[in-house]
């Protein structure tokens, strides 16, 4: 069967292939352009920015804008740069991601494998939480935080993000756990394991893909959040997004675009890093459970 071995590659095939790559490269360029502009601008000095074009390369690599953005730029009356707010964001994001992910996992486990009367309604009600616009709950949430005595605190922001995140994390985990056969839980119950033992020993060890997905999702959402941050944070608990806004809006004399750009990249760096490190799990996890096998 030697005639099967070689497939004819005609000229047209080659042309189409080249066209495809050109297309893909053009798309990638469109998506990357803003980031490249940011990066280039952050490495130029103010004079160079004013005289050159957006895409002109910097004459010399100059990191002074970065160090200013990190520790010297003024955000309002304070001139400590992004560093303290960067830390604030971590203080909010780490507990909020951890708690909302854990709660979502337990919720999903209950809704998919320990159904109770009304559990489907409970799940539907939780789903509604995914569709409530953030703005709608600003006032009631402010009242609630005040009533709880945690207004303007990091704890308060963590609570807001956990409450808002649980709807999504529950949905993620429930859909994933739906594909775990119920017989597995039955077998464990007959073996003598209880609710939490089954969760800890059998369910969690197979949950890595969905945990990664949820953590990435929650991390990005909470890190990038501006509205809750600006509404519920105090003077010294502002997250990095709010600080970035203040930094860009505070100017003495000329606008320092290089510092603004460096600050913006700093603010985006953690989410970028999370995607680079765990991105392949993200796609894999999102499609897990969608197809059997």
Q: Which is nearer to other proteins, 202 or 230 (CB)?
A: 202
The residue among 218, 180, 213, 176 whose CA lies nearest residue 198 is 180
What is the closest distance, in whole angstroms, from the C-beta atom of residue 167 to other proteins in the complex? 28
Does 114 interact with other proteins (rule: CB under 8 A)? no
- As a whole number of angstroms, the distance between CA 48 and CA 208 comes to 48
What is the closest distance, in whole angstroms, from the C-beta atom of residue 181 to other proteins in the complex? 5
> If DSSP codes are grouped into helix, strand and coil, which group holds residue 114?
coil
- As a whole number of angstroms, the distance between CA 181 and CA 55 comes to 55
Q: What does R_g of the chain's alpha carbons equal in angstroms?
A: 25
Choose the binding region for other proteins from 50-58, 59-67, 190-198, 247-255 (rule: CB under 8 A). 190-198
Residues in CB range of 230: below 8 A, 6 or more apart:
238, 241, 242, 245
Residues 231-260, interacting with other proteins (CB under 8 A): none
Choose the binding region for other proteins from 64-72, 79-87, 195-203, 245-253 (rule: CB under 8 A). 195-203
Select from 191, 196, 249, 273 the one that contacts other proteins (CB under 8 A): 191
Select from 11, 118, 133, 181 the one that contacts other proteins (CB under 8 A): 181
Select from 142, 188, 230, 268 the one that contacts other proteins (CB under 8 A): 188
Does 98 interact with other proteins (rule: CB under 8 A)? no
The residue among 42, 114, 62, 96 whose CA lies nearest residue 233 is 96
Does 17 interact with other proteins (rule: CB under 8 A)? no
Helices (H), the chain: 2-5, 11-42, 46-51, 64-71, 83-113, 119-128, 138-148, 154-177, 182-190, 195-198, 208-224, 227-232, 240-249, 257-287
- As a whole number of angstroms, the distance between CA 104 and CA 1 comes to 57
What is the closest distance, in whole angstroms, from the C-beta atom of residue 143 to other proteins in the complex? 42
SS (H, E, C) 180-200: CCHHHHHHHHHCCCCHHHHHH
Kindly determine how many residues on this chain lie close enough to bind other proteins according to the rule CB under 8 A. 16
Q: Which is nearer to other proteins, 11 or 181 (CB)?
A: 181
Does 190 interact with other proteins (rule: CB under 8 A)? yes
Does 205 interact with other proteins (rule: CB under 8 A)? yes
What is the closest distance, in whole angstroms, from the C-beta atom of residue 19 to other proteins in the complex? 42
Choose the binding region for other proteins from 38-46, 71-79, 193-201, 222-230 (rule: CB under 8 A). 193-201
What is the closest distance, in whole angstroms, from the C-beta atom of residue 118 to other proteins in the complex? 14
Residues in CB range of 111: below 8 A, 6 or more apart:
119, 122, 123, 170, 174, 177
Select from 33, 187, 272, 283 the one that contacts other proteins (CB under 8 A): 187
Q: Which positions touch other proteins (CB under 8 A)?
A: 181, 183-184, 186-193, 197, 201-202, 205-206
């Amino acid at each position: 069967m030697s005639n099967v071995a070689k497939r004819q590659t005609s000229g047209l095939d080659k042309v189409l292939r080249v066209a495809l790559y050109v297309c893909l490269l053009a798309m990638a360029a469109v998506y990357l352009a803003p980031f490249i502009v940011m990066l280039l601008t952050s490495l130029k000095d103010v004079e160079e920015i004013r005289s050159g074009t957006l895409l002109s390369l910097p004459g010399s690599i100059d990191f002074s804008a970065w160090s200013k953005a990190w520790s010297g730029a003024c955000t309002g009356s304070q001139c400590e740069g992004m560093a303290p707010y960067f830390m604030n964001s971590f203080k909010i994001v780490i507990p909020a991601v951890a708690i909302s992910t854990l709660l979502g996992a337990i919720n999903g486990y209950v809704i998919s494998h320990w159904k109770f009367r009304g559990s489907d309604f409970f799940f539907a009600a939780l789903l509604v939480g995914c569709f409530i616009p953030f703005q709608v709950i600003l006032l009631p949430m402010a009242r609630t935080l005040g009533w709880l005595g945690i207004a303007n605190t990091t704890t308060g922001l963590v609570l807001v993000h956990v409450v808002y995140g649980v709807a999504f994390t529950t949905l993620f985990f429930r859909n994933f756990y739906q594909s775990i056969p119920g017989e597995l839980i039955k077998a464990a119950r007959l073996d003598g394991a209880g609710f939490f033992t089954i969760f800890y020993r059998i369910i969690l060890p197979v949950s890595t893909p969905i945990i990664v997905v949820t953590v990435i999702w929650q991390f990005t959402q909470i890190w990038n959040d501006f509205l809750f941050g600006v509404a519920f944070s105090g003077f010294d608990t502002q997250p990095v997004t709010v600080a970035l806004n203040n930094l860009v809006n505070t100017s003495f004399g000329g606008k320092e675009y290089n510092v603004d750009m460096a600050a913006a990249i700093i603010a985006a760096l953690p989410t970028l890093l999370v995607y680079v490190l765990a991105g392949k799990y993200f796609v894999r996890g999102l499609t897990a459970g969608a197809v059997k096998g």
